[in-house]
Structure 1
Amino acid sequence: MEEEVHRLKSLRPLHIWISSALNPVCYSLIPHLFTPGLFSGLPIFSLHLMDTSGSEEMLQALKMETVDLAIPRLHEPAGEYNDEQNDKDQVAEHFHRYGQLIETNAQKDVRVLVAGDFFINMKCSLLIENAPSIDPRNFVAMTTQLEYEARTQLAQKLSVKTSDITNVIVWGNISGSFHIDLQRAKVFRYDGAIRGPDGFSQHVMEMIYDWKWLKTDFRSLLHKHRATISSKTNKATAISTTNAILAILKAWNNAESPEEVFSLGVLSTGQFGIPAGLVFSMPVSFTDGHWSVRSDVIVTDELRVNLDACADELRMERDMAAKTLKNDA
């Protein structure tokens, strides 16, 4: 018994906390979190599950299923039940509290990834504001799923695979007013008049001649895409959300090509004329486990108008959250 106590004390596990653990996304995500190579080294994992809907019994069932995975490097998962709705006021209160808990309990090198369908930028902003001793660069909001959905629409238009479209940039409010920027977007293996060897690519904007589709149908299809899938399955888009989360975790925790462009909601320090202090989706690249904003992206006059509109909406959301918290104080 003493040896076992000593062994447990000597462990330095990697703690993973998941809120909204009963969301269908987590049923798809949890088994993949322990895939070799996702996190550098071979850490021991301690998994903490928090529930924001359903019941405590459902959370216990999820813990039992997680134990049944029989993963050697996983401690028995812990769980905590609390109630939260997707009402903006409730979101503000909960993420204000979550930020305080991170400030009080987490190590300073903690990394936080915010994903979901509602107020993603605002949630990330509240966490940053309430964990002032932690580097704001350790908090990001996931745009990747939206980026992949945009690539899907472009791929269908050009009759290629989604993976053949790269470097699509998503600006702004991830779950609100956003702008899709194709200035760097490329298409590979496009069956057009010009063909090339493996690795040959062409600019997406030069291959799509239907400007009306780009201005109207493309955006409409993109806004409806996730809802269309959910209406057919009566479930959240768990597989695509899981894939997007894993893509960011892999890039963030491992070596990644600095040439690959990702879209990520990060705290603005004034880049591209975006107001400092807003969590804003913008182009980044990952190098040696760290992200940096791409400085080689051109902001045209048309793009500036769109960025300003996104910033106005994000400021409004931030002000409403602050008002809610002030009234509850």
Structure 2
Amino acid sequence: MDGFVSIEKSFVVLGCVYLSWKIIKHIWSSLNLEKDPVTVLVTGAAGQIGYALVPMIARGEMLGPDQPVIIHMLDIEQAAEALNGVKMELIDAAFPLLKGVVATTDVVEACSDVNIAILVGGFPRKEGMERKDVMSKNVSIYKAQALALDQHAAPDCKVLVVANPANTNALILKEFAPSIPEKNITCLTRLDHNRALGQISEKLNVHVSDVKNVIIWGNHSSTQYPDANHATVKTFTGEKPATELVGDDKWLKTEFIDTVQQRGAAIIKARRMSSALSAASSACDHIRDWVLGTPKGTWVSMGVSSDGSYGVPQGLIYSFPVTCDKGEWSIMQGLKIDEFSREKMDANAKELMEEKSLAYSCLN
């Protein structure tokens, strides 16, 4: 009999707990409590990537489905009318998470109080232009944006550089925005990382979500090194090395690398325009994992300031495998590097050192 009484009391207690939880939930909901909005800057916002990116941010794909945002959009004077059109579309879409939109050609207004800056705008290389001419144009743009962010952005502002040459643009930004922590300035190699995941998944005819831990080493350029040596694939019998399942070392060292390196050019050839959709999606992936964290046992590729890991010169913005937790990234340590990889990684470091010298000569 005592046992039945105890069980009855337990049900009463559980019922009270459940009722209390429902009451608290109702009160919380009625108070309409929500997170403070995060202010996100997108430069070059009237362009193709910006146009694809801003609705993703407003929809919660970058910072989560419960995070309100204010979007600042910056573009050049010639694009002011198109930029205003993007603003009108954002308003017309009635995104519940979107708490404000600023569309401006004023870099100071655009950078004011931003928590996250995604720098898509840059000067593209045109036919007949020398490499130094392109570098000079972008050095000027990124120096101006760095100074504005340094003076007007939130103290903990996180920066993602998308525009090419992405690594060196980020390096210039780091130079002229000393108040922004060095670890808060990154560049986008997640697009290349995602492309590498896609190639492995297609080769093995598995879902891309079953593939993880590819690496993009080095520069976001045609010399980048996509590395599948540490990648794994989920199977019915557990995770297995991608190299073992592919079983074709020649493909991994030739066609796989070439396809990832040249994917952007292949897309331009196919659609007569650059890869805007995938670039915007990967920028969201980059920020989301950085802010919200990477899944346990998974790393992603980010262009970050080198601390000397894997023999990469300190201070270069270089793509490494990283894990993220509580808004901080950490370079994955202890990975075995074979001779083939070492050669590719060193070639990227050399190229980035040359780009750095060229950029500094443009400054002078």
Q: Given the two structures, how large is their TM-score scaled by the length of structure 2? A: 0.78
2:70 maps to a residue whose letter is: S
Which residues in structure 2 correspond to 1:157-236 (within 5 Å)? 157-189=203-235, 196-197=236-237, 200-236=238-274
> 1:53 touches 1:84 (CA, 8 Å); kept in 2?
no
1:51 is aligned to 75
1:316 is aligned to 354
Determine helix, strand or coil for the equivalent of 2:262.
helix
Taking a change above 3 Å as real, the CA distance of residues 154 and 312 of structure 1, as seen in their structure-2 partners, is same
Q: Does 1:67 align with 2:94?
A: no
Structure 1 unaligned regions, length at least 5? 1-10, 190-195
2:221 maps to a residue whose letter is: S
Determine helix, strand or coil for the equivalent of 1:133.
coil
1:33 maps to a residue whose letter is: I
**1:116-158 deviation line (CA, Å, top 9, x unaligned):** 4x21100111111111122111111111110111122222222
2:165 is aligned to 119
Q: Structure 1 residues 159-168 or 31-40, which shifts more?
A: 31-40
> 2:45 touches 2:75 (CA, 8 Å); kept in 1?
yes
> 1:55 touches 1:81 (CA, 8 Å); kept in 2?
no
**1:139-178 deviation line (CA, Å, top 9, x unaligned):** 1111111011112222222222322221101100012421
Structure 1 distance, partners of 2:36, 2:205, is: 49
Which structure would you say has the larger RCO, counting Cα contacts within 8 Å and 6 or more residues apart?
Answer: 1
How far did 1:206 drift?
1.3
Percent identity of the aligned residues? Answer: 27
**1:62-111 deviation line (CA, Å, top 9, x unaligned):** 22212212235421423217995222210111111111111111121001
1:315 maps to a residue whose letter is: M
2:82 maps to a residue whose letter is: M
2:51 maps to a residue whose letter is: Y
2:280 maps to a residue whose letter is: T
> 2:243 touches 2:249 (CA, 8 Å); kept in 1?
no
Q: Rg: which structure is higher?
A: 2
Structure 2 distance, partners of 1:18, 1:36, is: 15
Q: Structure 1 residues 55-64 or 70-79, which shifts more?
A: 70-79
Determine helix, strand or coil for the equivalent of 1:68.
helix
**1:12-67 deviation line (CA, Å, top 9, x unaligned):** 75321111112212222111213347437955533221125853221221222122
Determine helix, strand or coil for the equivalent of 1:202.
strand
> 1:120 touches 1:174 (CA, 8 Å); kept in 2?
yes
Structure 1 distance, partners of 2:173, 2:104, is: 21
Q: Given the two structures, how large is their TM-score scaled by the length of structure 1? A: 0.85
1:264 is aligned to 302
Taking a change above 3 Å as real, the CA distance of residues 76 and 288 of structure 1, as seen in their structure-2 partners, is closer
Q: Does 1:288 align with 2:313?
A: no
Structure 2 unaligned regions, length at least 5? 1-34, 108-120, 125-133
Structure 1 distance, partners of 2:208, 2:155, is: 37
Q: Does 1:77 align with 2:123?
A: no
**1:245-270 deviation line (CA, Å, top 9, x unaligned):** 12122212224324211011000111
